[in-house]
């Protein structure tokens, strides 16, 4: 008989940051963004889209999904030209994948925004594409409390109860963003999510831009303020 087992192991996660001051010489940033990339992306490239908004008082932190894979199928994967991407999870062993990513983001949050300074550092959390579900699950079940949540071009997890999510948000603002020509996350789906959120008492708004499944610089600048 084949029996499934699970074993918790320690592994190393990678994240990138830009902005903020040196903790040894200056006060912590007054605002922190935790931004999560989409399927097949890497954190280094993703955080680059936010670099121009980083200042000594605004730090951007980009964690990378724990599952990396080759995007190309070359003759040899050792070639330096082979593209590599990362993902947050798949449907395989789903519940353990979700638990692991929540624990990972909790641990990251505790490092970059320590409890001793958390109250003085405004937190904005952004999820793009696949990681919309990732950050929603984290904020629903993890330890972090965000001041603003930006859900960009992705789907709210179907298993999460919107009313319970509203309670966990504790009044945080939510911005839903989608391109008018996004073939993967259509505007109509975002509009339906907006109505579900507002009906549950969530302070939510929908922002759209003329484009497809991508970050939009002008829209991001308007949200960043």
Domain boundaries, the chain: 27-224
Is 129 within 8 Å of 38 (Cβ atoms)? yes
Tokens of 90: 């798949």
pLDDT at residue 79 is higher than 70: no
Query: What CATH number belongs to 27-224?
Result: 3.40.50.1820
pLDDT tens for residues 163-172?
A: 999 999 999 9
- Average pLDDT of the chain is 92
Q: How many helices (H) and strands (E) does the chain have?
A: 6, 9
Average pLDDT score over residue span 24-39: 84
pLDDT tens for residues 101-119?
A: 999 999 999 999 988 888 8
Q: pTM here?
A: 0.92
User: How are beta strands 122-128 and 31-36 bridged, if at all?
Assistant: parallel
- Main-chain dihedrals φ then ψ at residue 80, nearest 5 degrees: -70, -10
d(CA 147, CA 135): 13
Task: Please state whether 50 falls in left (phi above 0), alpha (psi between -120 and 50) or beta.
Answer: alpha
């Amino acid at each position: 008989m084949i029996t499934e087992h699970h074993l918790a192991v320690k592994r190393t996660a990678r994240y990138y940051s830009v902005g903020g001051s040196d903790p040894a010489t200056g006060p912590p940033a007054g605002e922190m963004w935790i931004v999560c990339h989409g399927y097949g992306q890497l954190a280094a490239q993703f955080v680059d889209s936010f670099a121009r908004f980083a200042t000594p008082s605004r730090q951007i932190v980009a964690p990378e999904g724990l599952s990396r894979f080759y995007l190309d199928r070359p003759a040899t994967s050792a070639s330096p030209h082979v593209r590599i991407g990362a993902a947050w999870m798949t449907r395989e062993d789903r519940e353990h994948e979700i638990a692991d990513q929540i624990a990972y983001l909790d641990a990251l949050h505790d490092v970059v925004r320590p409890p001793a300074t958390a109250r003085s550092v405004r937190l904005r959390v952004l999820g793009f594409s696949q990681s919309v579900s990732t950050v929603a699950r984290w904020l629903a079940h993890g330890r972090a409390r965000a001041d603003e949540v930006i859900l960009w071009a992705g789907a709210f997890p179907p298993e999460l109860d919107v009313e319970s999510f509203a309670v966990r948000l504790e009044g945080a603002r939510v911005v839903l963003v989608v391109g008018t020509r996004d073939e993967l996350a259509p505007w109509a789906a975002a509009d339906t999510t907006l109505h579900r959120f507002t009906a549950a008492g969530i302070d939510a708004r929908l922002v759209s831009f003329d484009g497809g499944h991508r970050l939009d610089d002008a829209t991001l600048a308007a949200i960043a303020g």
